[in-house]
Amino acid sequence: MERVALGTVLLLAGAFKLGQRAWPTAAAEFGAPRWVIGGLPWLELVLGGLLMAQVGVRWTAAASGILFALFTVAVALRLRSTEQVPCGCFVETSPEPVGLDTLVRNVLLTAMAAVGVVRGGQVGRPEVIAGVAVGLLIVAQSRSRIGARR
């Protein structure tokens, strides 16, 4: 279930970034390197798709965990900074800065990826449905936090 939830989160994050013209600006303000700005949405889509298709389950979960761990470190560094910026995670282009809830969300996603690595194996239909629901809830909570418009 956790891999499907991660796949849902990654697919939505990548799609939102590609569909939003403000994404590159938000990412640059956050401090992302230029090469990350162009490649990150595609990486999220590929990892999300692989997780949803249950391809290379342990390796894909591990790669996703590394990505979420990097996000966690980036958010933690931003929280220590005096400059407050939005993360752009789900095209959060409002002026609301990253907060402790952003850090907690990323720690949770990293932990879910670790569980996905340990559990491995394929998931059945009930777990897929539950995973999609959890992923959608994570994205909805993140977007509602900043008052994102749909």
pLDDT profile of the chain (150 residues), mean per 10: 87 87 85 89 94 89 94 90 78 69 88 87 68 70 52
Q: What is the DSSP letter of 123?
A: -
pTM: 0.84
pLDDT of residue 150: 34
What would the DSSP string read from start to end of 42-111? HHHHHHHHHHHHT-SHHHHHHHHHHHHHHHHHHHHHHHHSSS-----TTS--SSPPP-HHHHHHHHHHHH
Per-residue pLDDT of 61-85, as tens digits, reads 999 999 999 999 999 998 888 788 8
pLDDT of residue 65: 95
Amino acid, res. 94: S
Tracing tokens 């909805």 back to the chain, one arrives at 140
Residue 131, sorted as left (phi over 0), alpha (psi -120 to 50) or beta, turns out to be alpha
Per-residue pLDDT of 96-115, as tens digits, reads 678 888 888 889 899 989 98
Nearest to 32 by CA among 23, 20, 44: 23
How far apart (Å, rounded) are the C-alpha atoms in residues 140 and 119?
26
Cα three-residue angle 71-74-76, rounded to 5 degrees = 110
pLDDT of residue 147: 45
Cα three-residue angle 21-24-26, rounded to 5 degrees = 100
